Structure 1
């Protein structure tokens, strides 16, 4: 009688196989959403441009004292997008500004989703007076204008990228908290949650092992949608003069253009490039978010 030499895969191997299969299914369904693919391609291009900025344009592009051109030169072969009021290349500034705008948008979205997920899961799990208090706080943030709260925080705190991230993150989490709480209530009504509790599973075990994996698809879709909002909010704060004065961002370029009188003097090349960059990146994240949301929840019926 021959022994069976076929080894049984371990738990970790099976977990990795399931994750790879799940990722493959997700990508196969995501590719059917043409708008999502276009948005993803635009994001990949923007990220590559941002990551290679130190090599393509260099950090010297931000220097005011060593500006290579004259003030407010129109687009030419030397400066394809013209120059700003200090004689710096606007093409280089837009490329370098993508680093700040994308970084702030990503970090602010992660902070916002983390706060909303924490409050949503705990409020859906514990319920009672804790859930009542948390939901009333969430409702207060929902009815308050997000931009006004962000401006207030950015005004009180020091002007830096960290301040912008915190100001956006702590004012945009209520929607995520509401969605995650509703999903948590739905998950905890399932029979296997009762079995886990009967077998001795504590609060942390139930929330981390059963609830969190089931709400992660919703969290992922919400993150991609919030990033576009965070980028627009960062641009608005920078345009209002509340951004980091030492950095270069797309909103900061628009604020510099306003101060230089580009609108009244007709220097369109100072306004259009950063504005288009903000719109393209925000639209790309929105397209990706809608596609992810449609893949994870086909009942939404999002158009492809």
Structure 2
């Protein structure tokens, strides 16, 4: 009776599959991460602001119907009107409300930022792990490719690609994603070298594990926290790059983005004509969103890096 009662508590735990135990540990790690993240005032402030911007961008057709951008129906609105109760952020040279343009522009800017960052992170992670794991001539050739992309300014390459390819949102995503992965690859390579030298990776190799098993089961989980922290910081850089390309006239002129608003302000000589609201509104929007991503990224980096947390 005593033996059966003492063995009973271990029954459910012993019956759990290894996969269930792994997911249980992952969920516990996520909860611990969220609890640590909530303690950061800057991280929570950046996350709340970013969620507000995402909700506004998602609800753009409801908050600011697209007919408000139809210049043929805006004859009653002032041209280059300063901020007022009717137009809190003023109007542009075509009588369009700047606030409406910013709400719609958030969709393109955030879409390009997330999509280009995803492409950059995927390429950088794959190349970084390959360079750090494989030795010999293959790894040396990949490393030289990484060094090439590190030496050449990514913005210059993005401008060249955007100028050669057809103009559009997809082109901007490709131009930014294909030219901004080298920094991630170098960071992932360093982390891959560190993880590869650990004992459990050596034991896995001795037991006959192949390259795919070692990479997927050991190296990739070891570098993912670093990739996650780097991703939140890279999104802000991608948004700035999109704004720069659109400002230079390399974006899709038919789509609203924050860079396009700045490019239109330049074309209308807003800086020299005293239309300060035309420049300040999109400029502050870009700065605020990039700052939000930076605060989130720094908080994630501190949580995942014990050295920074101790400081």
Scaled by the length of structure 1, what TM-score is found? 0.95
- Does the alignment pair 1:252 with 2:260? yes
Does the 8 A contact of 1:291 with 1:302 survive in 2?
Answer: no
1:145 alignment partner in structure 2: 153
Within 5 Å, give how 1:91-240 maps onto structure 2.
91-240=99-248
2:250 to 242, 248, 253: 242
Does the 8 A contact of 1:62 with 1:248 survive in 2?
Answer: no
**Matched positions, count:** 303
> Is the deviation greater in 102-111 or in 13-22?
13-22
- Does the alignment pair 1:14 with 2:21? yes
Structure 2 CA distance for aligned equivalents of residues 192 and 15 of structure 1: 17
Report the alpha carbon displacement of residue 302 of structure 1 after superposing the two structures with TM.
8.5
- Does the alignment pair 1:48 with 2:41? no
2:270 alignment partner in structure 1: 262
1:292 alignment partner in structure 2: 300
**1:209 match: secondary structure:** helix
Structure 2 CA distance for aligned equivalents of residues 160 and 65 of structure 1: 24
**1:65 match: secondary structure:** helix
Structure 2 CA distance for aligned equivalents of residues 61 and 114 of structure 1: 38
**Structure 2 gaps, min length 5:** none
Does the 8 A contact of 2:303 with 2:309 survive in 1?
Answer: no
Question: How well do the aligned residues superpose, as a CA RMSD in angstroms?
Answer: 1.6
Structure 1 CA distance for aligned equivalents of residues 20 and 137 of structure 2: 43
Report the alpha carbon displacement of residue 63 of structure 1 after superposing the two structures with TM.
2.2
Does the 8 A contact of 2:229 with 2:300 survive in 1?
Answer: yes
> Is the deviation greater in 1-10 or in 175-184?
1-10
1:58 to 53, 56, 65: 65
Scaled by the length of structure 2, what TM-score is found? 0.93
**1:79 match: secondary structure:** coil
